[in-house]
Amino acid sequence: MPFSSRRSSYLIVWLLATVACTPKDVPPPAPVLPVPAPSQLAWHRMEMNAFVHFSINTFTDKEWGFGAESPDLFQPTAFDAKQWVAAFKETGFKGVILTCKHHDGFCLWPSAHTQHSVKQSPWMNGEGDVVRALATACRGAGLEFGIYVSPWDRNHADYGTPAYVNYYRDQLRELFQTYGPIFEMWFDGANGGDGFYGGAHEKRKIDGASYYDWPATLDLVRSFNPNVIFFSDAGPGARWVGNEKGIAGETNWNTITPDTLYAGKAGIEQLLNTGSEGGTHWIPAETDVSIRPGWFYHDREDSLVKTPEQLFNIYLTSVGRGSTLLLNIPPDSRGLIHENDVAALRGFRVLLNERFAHDLAREATIRANHYRGNAVEFSPGLLIDGNPDTYWATDDEVISASVELQWPREQIIRYVQLQEAIALGQRVRSWKAEIFKNNKWVQVATATTVGYKRILDVGDQTTARLRITITDARASLALAELSVF
Ligand code: FUL
C-alpha cells in the first residue's frame, strides 16, 4: 500500500475512533423503577403549597362539626380570597388546597346535590361561592388550585349506604367540571363514626378498605383531569407523611408498596413516614401541618401562631427531606388571614431568602473522582448549572463516588443541598459531607436518602473545600443539583 494511502487509512481509523468515543455515544443510565409520572415530577417541583381550612367550624370554634350546624352560622364579614392568595404567593407557595367540604358536610360551593351549603347562608344573600372565589384568585395569581372533599359526611342522611358514595361522586364531578383544572385532590382518612346523618343522630361504621370503592372514584375523576394528584394515606399520587407535625422521615423513600394500605388504616404511620426502598409504586410523602395548633381558626390561638423560625425548621424537615410541604393557614371569621399569620409567613419568607439566597456552589470549581464514560453530558459541572434536568452520572457499576467543590478562599457554609435526578428513579442510600480543614478531610454530616431534595445543616463551617461522597446507592448515580449556602 503506498504511504499516502496508508496514511489516509490511518486517518480514517483515527477519525472513526474519535467519533466512536464522542460523549454522544455514552448512553444515559437506565431508570431505576418505579419512576414518577410527569404530573408527580411537576408536583415535586412545587415544593410548598398552602392548605386552607375554612368552614362552619370557623364560626362555631370547633375542629370537627357534628353535621347539624345551621348554614346561618356561615357569615364572614370581610371575606377576601385575594388577600389569602396574596399572602400565600408572597411566601412562595405554588398551590392552594381548600376544604370545600369538611367532615360536617357543609359545602363551600352552591352544590346542586344538597341544601347544606353556602346557598342557604346569609353571606352574600346565599349568592356566595368560596370555591369559585379562591379558584379565581389562584388563577389570577398564577397558583394552582386543589380541593379537599371529606369522604366522611356527618350531615348526609345516606352516609354508610351505597347512595352516599354516588352523592360523593356527584360532588366530585360537579367540582372538577365547574372549578377545574384542579392539581391535587385530598382524600382524608378520618372517620369518627357518630354524627347528625340527616337527623338520625347515631354512630355509623363503614369498612374503610371497601366502602368508598376508591378505584372507581379515581377513574371517574381522572376522566375529567388525568393529571390530578390524588393524596391519601396510600396515594396513589402522594401519600400522607404519617404525622401532622411537619416531619418527614430522615430516610424518605418516594417508593412504597400500597397493596395493603388504605386511608384511615391504623398503624401504618411509620411506614408512611419513611416509605420503603424497593416499594412497587412512586408515591411521595406530603407533609401537612398547621401554622396554628388547630386546623381551623380559633381566636384563642392567635398567640400560638408558629414563629418564622419554627416554620423554617419545618421547611428543613419537610422540603429538606425530599417531601412537599402543605402548610395550613386558616382564615378567621372575617374571612381573612389573620395579621399574626401574615406576619409569620412574611418572617418565614425573609428567613428563606436570607439563608438560601446565595448559592456558593455556583462560585466554586467542581470535580469528581469519576463520571459516566467521561462524557461531558454526565460531568460534575452539571451539578452546579442550576438546571434540574441535567445531571452528574456514574458508570453502571459505580454506586459510590465523590465530588469536590473548591473556592479561591475560605467560605462559611451552613447548608448543603443535594438533589437526585428523580425522573430516573430514587437511588441514593447514604452519603456524607466533609470539609478540608488543617490539611485533612473532616466529616461534618452524614445522611441516608436524597430523593427530590435533601438539605443538611452542617453548622457554620469555615473551609475552602467541600467534598460530597455518595457512599451507597441502589444503582449507578444520577444527581441533578448541588447547592451550598
Ligand atoms: C384530619 C382531619 O380530621 C382534620 O380535621 C384535618 O382536616 C386534617 C388535615 O386531616 O384527618
Q: Which residue has its alpha carbon closest to ligand 1 atom 2?
A: 190
* Res. 360 pLDDT band, cuts 50 70 90: very high
CATH 2.60.120.260 maps onto the chain at 359-484
Eight-class DSSP state of 347 = H
User: What confidence score (pLDDT) does residue 191 get?
Assistant: 86
Q: Cα separations (Å) of 163 from 149, 152, 255, 389?
A: 17, 13, 35, 47
- Cα of 82 vs centre of ligand 1, distance in Å, is 24
Q: Which residues contact 428 (CB under 8 A, 6 or more apart)?
A: 420, 449, 450, 451, 470, 472, 473, 474, 477, 479
pLDDT tens for each residue of 9-24: 444 444 444 444 445 6
Checking if the pLDDT of 54 tops 90, the result is: yes
pLDDT tens for each residue of 295-343: 999 999 999 999 999 999 999 999 999 999 999 999 999 999 999 999 9
Q: Which three cell numbers stand for residue 50?
A: 398552602
User: What confidence score (pLDDT) does residue 263 get?
Assistant: 64
Choose which residue among 188, 244, 291, 328 to substitute to test ligand 1 binding: the one with the highest number of ligand atoms within 8 A of its C-beta.
Answer: 188
* Res. 445 pLDDT band, cuts 50 70 90: very high
- Cα of 353 vs centre of ligand 1, distance in Å, is 31
In the predicted model, what is the mean pLDDT of residues 132-146? 98
Q: Which residue has its alpha carbon closest to ligand 1 atom 10?
A: 188
User: What confidence score (pLDDT) does residue 24 get?
Assistant: 62
pLDDT tens for each residue of 274-283: 999 999 999 9
In 329-397, at which residue ranges do the beta strands (DSSP E only) sit?
365-368, 392-393
User: What confidence score (pLDDT) does residue 19 get?
Assistant: 43
In the predicted model, what is the mean pLDDT of residues 174-190? 94
Torsion angle, alpha carbons of 10, 24, 392, 277, to 10: -120
Eight-class DSSP state of 27 = P
Domain spanning 38-356, CATH architecture: Alpha-Beta Barrel (3.20)
- Cα of 405 vs centre of ligand 1, distance in Å, is 44
* Res. 188 pLDDT band, cuts 50 70 90: confident
In the predicted model, what is the mean pLDDT of residues 367-386? 98
Share of the chain above pLDDT 90, in %: 90
- Interatomic CA distance for residues 314 and 271, integer angstroms: 20
CATH superfamily of 359-484: Galactose-binding domain-like (2.60.120.260)
In the predicted model, what is the mean pLDDT of residues 415-433? 98
Checking if the pLDDT of 4 tops 60, the result is: no
* Res. 260 pLDDT band, cuts 50 70 90: confident
What does the angle CA 345 – CA 232 – CA 34 come to, to the nearest 5 degrees?
Answer: 105
Q: Taking all residues of the chain, what is their mean pLDDT, rounded to a whole number? A: 94
* Res. 258 pLDDT band, cuts 50 70 90: confident
- Cα of 37 vs centre of ligand 1, distance in Å, is 27
Comparing 472 with 258, which gets the higher pLDDT? 472
* Its pTM surpasses 0.85: yes
CB count, 10 Å around CB of 471? 16
Which residues surround ligand 1 with Cβ inside 6 Å?
63, 188, 190, 288, 295
CATH 3.20.20.80 maps onto the chain at 38-356
- Cα of 150 vs centre of ligand 1, distance in Å, is 9
In the predicted model, what is the mean pLDDT of residues 252-271? 84
pLDDT tens for each residue of 198-222: 999 999 999 888 899 999 999 999 9
